[in-house]
Structure 1
Amino acid sequence: MAALIERHSALHGTLLFHEALDVDADDRAAHRHRSRESGRAVNGAPALARAVVLSYADGAADLVLVAHRRAVDRRALAQLATALTDPAHPVTLPEAATGASPQHDGPPELPWGLGDPARAGRTGTVVLTSTAVADDTAPALPLAATAVVLARYGATEHAEFALITGGPAAGDAQRSVALPVGEPTLTADLLDAAAHAGATDGEPPSGMPAVGVLLTEIRDGDIYRPVLAPPFPVTLAWQYGADGTLSGVLHYDEGVLDPVIAGQFAGHVARAVDALVKAPAGARVADIALVDAEEAAAVIAAGRTPAGGDAVVAPVHELFRKVAAERPDAPALSDPEHTLSYAELDARSDAVAGALRGHGVMPGDRVGVCLDRTAELVVSLLGVLKAGAAYVPMDITYPAERLLHTVSDSGARLVLSRADDFPAIDGVTVLHPSELPRTAGGPVTDPGGGADDIAYVIYTSGSTGRPKGVAVPHRNVGALLAATTADLGLGPEDTWALFHSSAFDFSVWEIWGALLTGGHLVVVPYFVSRSPEDFHDLLVRHRVTVLNQTPSAFAMLKEVDLRRTADLAVRLVVFGGEPLDVRMLQDWFRGHPHTRCRVVNMFGITETTVHVTSQTVTPQDIGAGSRSVGRALPGWSVSVRDTAGGVQPFGVPGEIYVGGAGVASHYLNQEELTAARFVHDQVTGERVYRSGDLGRLRPDGRLDHLGRIDGQVKVRGFRIELGEIRSVLLEDRNVSAAAVVLGGDAGDAAQVRLDAYVVPGHEAVSVEEIRARAARYLPDYMVPATFTLLSELPLTVNGKVDTSGLTPAAEAVSAEAAGRPTDDPVLRVWREVLGKDVGPDDDFFLFGGNSLLAVRLSGALRRAGLPPVSLRELYVYPTAAEVSALLAAREPAEDPGGHPAT
């Protein structure tokens, strides 16, 4: 044996051993010894292979060969085994390493793998079910099955992976494989494509493939172990013999693949093999079911959290009366002008309810509420509920056309508003709150209705071009509080801030979360909410303990808090409204340890009553870059589905379905849309909401939120359908075609913007005209920051608008700015923040400015040595020239000698 190795230079690094055992070859101890030797890696250079002869007491012997695959391929290993066992047999060993697997950098990620980076390099294995197949299909089946599973996991019509083939008569070869598995593909065609992929040469993979298939033919008498260290992060090692036996093992890196996902993946590949073997003539690949009923039930169960059983099923106003009766003298509601006790809030809202009844409001009616953020707003909302009606909140900043649509679509016959210019609508009474009495003889004794009646209707952006009204029953609000109160420790000791617009469903959580748990609700005036400095002062002054924020708004508040020495009393921060990048919390946790201030990320949708899931965020989540939004709330359920509504396996992305106590009633006046989105689940038999959000479910039941499936986007915390903006633009007689896309810096919430691309109907139309009309129909956060005129919209080969080729045109520079450079420090800051060459007379908000950029502008002015301006001042003085004049007027006048006047 030593002489043989000496004759072949390629094997000079082979180590030789002989060990005599005092047991027979079929003894259990002999088996353990063989297994241990075959599983021991070849360690140390320059050793490339190790040959061990094990001799037994009964005269039998075994040869165990272990080699580095990069130096000794399958052919060379077989040749060496032949030569060592039969020296007289003529063999031709390679004189140099045939080297199969190229070396790559770090392993890639799999979107469905859910591996733990801390466990990278640890290898796990899963044995695949052995099966007997026709020998001519054996090499093709593993490839076809792998393609089916990878395509389902990746929602693609072509599955790509790496392939290593080899056998006694052929050396190992690594190449890329791409197999078609789209809707029309037949199983016979897939197997044919797989057979050719395994028999022809292809291009080697570029970079480290995540998934690879190692396919080898075994020869009689051999026991072959393909790998000790798998060549790919996810390696499916298959062996097939002349008798048609097919067997395999999944080897995986735990840094790439979670062990639960690995077992699931292996099971699906084995199921696909079985399905392909049994597929009748004419069967389609799309008909292969990977997830059976038992597995689907397990996935559904993981995403469901049972209700606690302590929810009180009652209308919101009845739940409030109970709290008010228990805490009549406790502070309930404050604004800068007033503080109302629970008894006073109860009496004031009773008066509103009585007055509404006196104006003809009946149980089941809908009442519009368009009021500024004061205590009066909350009194009015509660009064509407006590009258047996549902409130329809509208923001006072909405344009007239949106207000008209909301009132008309909701069927409201009465609107509470202080706005003198609230649009007049036939048959609708606009009632000024001053016309309502402040006291009443008593509560409305028989408001009628119950927990299943609609409590409120909030309008959200709609792809049809008009907002859609979401009708939410009373019982959903009670269920939300029952699901969260104990876990979050909500109670009478808490002070909440009403930061959000009543037309944004986050306000539902803030208002009733405070008042139905006995807390103190502090109303944040609009302009205070837009100034992080003023808002921070309010939090300190009122000792607010429960803070609810969108990540965009919190980012600005956090920066102020880092500069301030005043200590906050906040014990709970709840995020919602848009995705949270947990890395932004690193500085926050330094000043507010998670053991003292709990941070909770909550995924939610208006159609499922504000919140759906809850995830407490810790410093460890920051390091892991977690995208988890947590488990479903008690009484809620989440699952992830494919396009046909089938349950997606753990880790596999798909559409998020929400079921349980939070599912809203319907969309007002939109039966088809209601039927399409509020569906009867074919799997569970329950009524669920199709969210249109992309997510993946983890084996522990936690949900990862991965964004939107459709054209819905988030800008400054507002959920916006791009289709609605496009529809408004197309209604303009000056516009013949339009597209709206999300632009700016996606990593910077303040820089995210909406870009509109418009094909004008005639040459005379201007951007200003189009922008002005859009602003009449859209709230300010939905008016695109840029409007670019095009002769035509670029199209893809499929006839769709090619948004990848759209770039916003530079805004026109004013004549004054174009004619001369400026030394105005305010204008320099203006251009620094907006990133455009704006002129001194250009409106901040028309050139892409928004409330978040206004905060940034104020900070930039301060850094430039200039006094900051508030958001309120910026609305009044929206140009650089006007702000320059404003700041100049603040400076003390100087006498002719250059000294300040006294």
Structure 2
Amino acid sequence: MLRMSEIIEQALCRHPGLPALTSGNVTYDYTDLHLLSQRVIARLSRSARPGQRAVIVGDHSLASVVWAIATLRSGLIYTPVHALSPVDRLSQEIRCAKPAVVVCFDEELAGTLRRLTDAEVIVAGPLERIAADAPVAPTLEDTREPVAYSIFTSGSTGEPKLVDVGHRGLEPLCRAQTAAFGLRPGLRVLQFSSLAFDASISELVATLYAGATIVVPDRTDRSWLGAVNECLLARQCDLATLPPSVYARLAPEAVRTLSTVVFAGEALTEPECERALKHARVLNAYGPTEGTVCFSIAEVIEHVGDIGTPIEGYGLRIFDAETGRYADSGTGELVIVGPGVALGYHGDGEATASRFRTIDDAPAYHTGDLVSYANGRLSYIGRTDDQIKRLGHRVNLTGLETRFSQGLGFRVAVLVAGGRLVLAHVDGPGEAEIMARLRRLAPMWELPDLVVRLDAMPLTVGGKADKNAIACLIGDEHGRRLSPDVVTEPDVTDFDRVRGIAEELLGQALDPDASVYDAGGGSLTLVSLQVRLGEYYGEEVVQTALEALDYDFTVNGFVAALNGGRDPGSGTVASVVRAAEKELDAWHVALVTRRAGAEGDRRRVLITGASGFVGGRVLDRALDVFDHVYVATTGVPEALPAVHAKRWGRGSEDYRTVDVVTFEELGRAAENGELDFGAVIHCGYEVNHLLPLERQVATNVAATKQVALAASSAGAGKFAFLSAASSGALFDPVTVERVAAVPEPYSQSKLLCEMYLDELTRAGCAVDVHRMSLVYGHGPQEGGFLANDKYFQLLRHSRKIGALPRLVGGLPVCDVRTVVDRVVTGLAHPEPTKQIIVDDIYDLERLAHAIGIGAADVLEFDQWCEAVSAAGVSDPRWLAAIRAAGPNLGPIDGPHTLAKGSLLEELMRVHGNGEHVLIRD
């Protein structure tokens, strides 16, 4: 039997050089992860002894996954806790766990945790700092501790129960899932589950066991669901384990990218099953937390309620509660038997004794699930008690009633009606107040979908709430009874209905132009919104509207999308542009005030985005042109010169006149008047076409404004901004109509930046605006920058099948050397310049020449997509992205220099035959 630490240790050593873990532009291979986890273990060893418990309070980030893997490898008892749990819940869980050390990833949360525990609280810093600061240490000494990890679940009282899971089921789990899921080296596995949910154990451990790659969505400022959608579209995941209710909320393009879907955490419903079968291989996995993640797996070809056959090492019994007998088949409570059965509930002997048994000298667990077992196949029927699962978390209705009644101060009944979790009451306040109070008492997956006030609570003869009678009073999902404090109009407008539902779910007023995420909602709020709005408008209509909003939600934006799209005169674009217009006067004053007669040294330059494709080349040129270079980075300042030097073959002496700072440090220096440079080249713009406009404003536009303020503070005379040719050919003043006419939020945000930078010109710093077309000219070592370029992937796929799709218009491109020349030389001219940079425009004939096929080998766009799919030469994600882009390339009109060359031909010669490279930024 391999122990947890041995499974991970051997996996990390067995696959040297293969990609192990990736998120955004960061990738660690197995050797990197081996060393990095050793350094994390070295840090943990200063705070805990082998066999003690380590609580990890984190979720959905590269750093939390690395710490999780290291803790699982360390010999400490890994115990994850959800970082977004209410404080009362955190307090209960930490008291139950009695950890030696608690790890979190946020200073504010650390303050709360220190008030809840006497254990040492570690705030995990950037991974790069751990790698640099902590010495390498061997794995903590193995004490033969029987517990491998512990996961919290809810028992019948509603109090958190800590399930202690042993080592014996881990290796069989890894072998079974590797075989059933088709895991293999190089396969990319989405890390979706909360670390506090036991499915994350198999996402991490089984993936590493198989030599595959864990892909963590890069959340940054977007919603989790939005981050997952983007990750599936852009990061090329092959397999994902998802609850059906989450799969139902994924964008259609994201759904089509997955080649294998494993459903888990909830009963698989027919609509999700049928949808998945259209695009992917489908598996249905079942397993309680008390059974080492997974007990059975079914290969699904149609929806029959099958949860498969037991995996290696497991057997089962069917328990008849009326007779008290166990059978080998039939219908009754499922009892799982085998080495993967957990050790019990930590510190709760009574609860352990009630569920855990020994059958034929093997450990067994009574699941409470009602099943039918015949001919080697299991079918899930329901629960033998009143527990349900929501988004993979077990929720006990009796426990919720107890906790909610105590916390609210009046009696409530909790039930499921019409597929919804309903809270019914008689004496309470309005729904909004109740929901606000419940958010402080319970995690999101326990919150009711509907709060209903009744005239009187119907009771059974035994004096308990009669839930069947309550369900009848509520009515069906279309004719449900509403709380008296909710006013319904006989002729409600779309705006009033949408806003009312959103405010009902949030429990507070909502600005019509504010994102639901900015108002305190999360991905579960969006799921609830989609369900509620779907009742009025239909599921497909609501799905289409949310897709148009990039799975963000504003009331105005949604109403506009219902009517066929975004209204240029109202909704998100209008509110964002008008908010910017209102800010311009104050923004101009801020720029002038910051400048205050300062005059920067023109031999010194500030550069952003130096780790990117264009920005790295700009920095390389700047080292030879300027006396001193400041670099502002979102990464680790100490690492950038070494990475840049390796890319360009430079020595450390070339960076003696380079100062690298974070954006936070740049902002402080600007406020204190400590900056001295005469020119700025702003390349640092996150290329993310899936972010909605509000998020682009909060990230990219905000960063541009920060750099502009720094330019004013330093007294810079020239500012070069790398904009996008897709923002349009005109350089007229920015208006709502102009922004609305631009096809997607990324390019819209570039226009907003130009509007702010016009004020910088008025304040005395001349701004060059370079609207770039598609930038190519990648050297042999820069193939990784092409990994997410859909046009490059289109050409590669075309070369593989020997045919191009019929494309409309021309593909405008420019050489990166042209861009760098224009940007750097433009700084020497005192007057502002605005230009579009296009070196060449490729029509269909020239595209065919670039990839080396005949001009006659052209298929209609849909035929080409089908041919690529049939040939099996494309990852489905790229094909989905190309389908979404469609056949229209769209020529660029306006002032630009056109110098015919062979840019794409050179690109395909250097990179067209190779696979794209995973890079570490």
Equivalent residues in 2 for 1:453-468, closer than 5 Å:
453-468=146-161
What corresponds to 1:370 in structure 2? 57
What corresponds to 1:187 in structure 2? none
What corresponds to 1:889 in structure 2? 575
Contact 2:223 2:523 in 1 (8 A): no
What corresponds to 1:431 in structure 2? 122
Answering whether residue 298 of structure 2 is matched by residue 626 of structure 1, we say no
Equivalent residues in 2 for 1:303-452, closer than 5 Å:
313-359=1-47, 361-422=48-109, 423=112, 424-434=115-125, 437-439=130-132, 440-450=134-144
What corresponds to 1:756 in structure 2? 423
Shift of 1:333: 0.6
Of 870-879 and 363-372, more deviation after overlay is shown by 870-879
C-alpha change, 1:470 and 1:649, in structure 2 (3 Å) is closer
Equivalent residues in 2 for 1:203-218, closer than 5 Å:
none
Contact 2:546 2:553 in 1 (8 A): no
Equivalent residues in 2 for 1:500-649, closer than 5 Å:
500-525=193-218, 535-557=228-250, 559-561=252-254, 568=257, 570-582=258-270, 584-590=272-278, 592=279, 597-618=280-301, 622=302, 625-643=303-321, 646-647=324-325
Answering whether residue 482 of structure 2 is matched by residue 804 of structure 1, we say no
1:233-266 Cα shifts (integer Å, max 9, x gaps): xxxxxxxxxxxxxxxxxxxxxxxxxxxxxxxxxx
Which residue, out of 451, 469, 487, partners 1:787?
451
C-alpha change, 1:850 and 1:873, in structure 2 (3 Å) is closer
What corresponds to 1:658 in structure 2? 336
CA distance in 2, matches of 1:604, 1:805: 33
What corresponds to 1:147 in structure 2? none
What corresponds to 2:413 in structure 1? 739
CA distance in 1, matches of 2:120, 2:152: 20
CA distance in 1, matches of 2:172, 2:148: 13
Shift of 1:508: 1.0
C-alpha change, 1:676 and 1:587, in structure 2 (3 Å) is closer
Contact 1:658 1:691 in 2 (8 A): yes
Shift of 1:317: 2.5
The SS at the match of 1:465 is coil
What corresponds to 2:438 in structure 1? 774
C-alpha change, 1:346 and 1:641, in structure 2 (3 Å) is same
C-alpha change, 1:688 and 1:874, in structure 2 (3 Å) is farther
- Aligned partner letter, 2:286: F
CA distance in 2, matches of 1:434, 1:876: 40
Alignment RMSD, CA only?
4.1
C-alpha change, 1:466 and 1:347, in structure 2 (3 Å) is same
CA distance in 2, matches of 1:537, 1:812: 41
Contact 1:854 1:871 in 2 (8 A): no
C-alpha change, 1:738 and 1:839, in structure 2 (3 Å) is closer
Equivalent residues in 2 for 1:103-118, closer than 5 Å:
none
Contact 1:786 1:847 in 2 (8 A): no
Contact 2:316 2:328 in 1 (8 A): no
Contact 2:218 2:227 in 1 (8 A): no
What corresponds to 2:365 in structure 1? 689
> Structure 2, unaligned stretches of length 5 or more?
475-480, 561-566, 582-731, 740-754, 756-921
CA distance in 2, matches of 1:866, 1:664: 42
Contact 2:4 2:72 in 1 (8 A): yes
Q: Percent identity?
A: 26
Q: Give the structure-2-normalised TM-score.
A: 0.54
Contact 1:314 1:475 in 2 (8 A): yes
CA distance in 2, matches of 1:379, 1:848: 24
Contact 1:827 1:839 in 2 (8 A): no
Equivalent residues in 2 for 1:250-289, closer than 5 Å:
none
Contact 1:712 1:719 in 2 (8 A): yes
What corresponds to 1:718 in structure 2? 393
> Structure 1, unaligned stretches of length 5 or more?
1-312, 747-752
The SS at the match of 1:739 is strand
CA distance in 1, matches of 2:181, 2:414: 40
Shift of 1:689: 0.2
What corresponds to 2:762 in structure 1? none
C-alpha change, 1:685 and 1:324, in structure 2 (3 Å) is closer
Contact 2:501 2:529 in 1 (8 A): no
The SS at the match of 2:131 is coil
Of 790-799 and 853-862, more deviation after overlay is shown by 853-862
C-alpha change, 1:629 and 1:430, in structure 2 (3 Å) is same
C-alpha change, 1:400 and 1:598, in structure 2 (3 Å) is same
Contact 1:826 1:861 in 2 (8 A): no
The SS at the match of 1:321 is helix
- Aligned partner letter, 1:785: D
Shift of 1:774: 2.6
The SS at the match of 1:343 is helix
- Aligned partner letter, 1:774: L
The SS at the match of 1:798 is coil
CA distance in 2, matches of 1:775, 1:551: 24
Shift of 1:813: 5.7
C-alpha change, 1:645 and 1:583, in structure 2 (3 Å) is farther
What corresponds to 2:525 in structure 1? 850
Equivalent residues in 2 for 1:475-490, closer than 5 Å:
475-490=168-183
Q: Give the structure-1-normalised TM-score.
A: 0.55
Contact 1:722 1:740 in 2 (8 A): yes
Contact 1:531 1:855 in 2 (8 A): no
Equivalent residues in 2 for 1:12-51, closer than 5 Å:
none
- Aligned partner letter, 2:208: L
CA distance in 2, matches of 1:460, 1:897: 53
- Aligned partner letter, 1:514: T
C-alpha change, 1:326 and 1:369, in structure 2 (3 Å) is same
1:696-723 Cα shifts (integer Å, max 9, x gaps): 111x221111111111012233321112
C-alpha change, 1:690 and 1:314, in structure 2 (3 Å) is same
CA distance in 2, matches of 1:539, 1:413: 37
The SS at the match of 1:719 is strand
CA distance in 1, matches of 2:197, 2:54: 17
What corresponds to 2:353 in structure 1? 675
Contact 1:532 1:855 in 2 (8 A): no
C-alpha change, 1:441 and 1:475, in structure 2 (3 Å) is farther
CA distance in 1, matches of 2:363, 2:545: 59
- Aligned partner letter, 2:56: V
1:412-471 Cα shifts (integer Å, max 9, x gaps): 132111233332224122211129732543333542223x63222111122212111111
Equivalent residues in 2 for 1:138-177, closer than 5 Å:
none
C-alpha change, 1:855 and 1:343, in structure 2 (3 Å) is farther
The SS at the match of 1:430 is strand
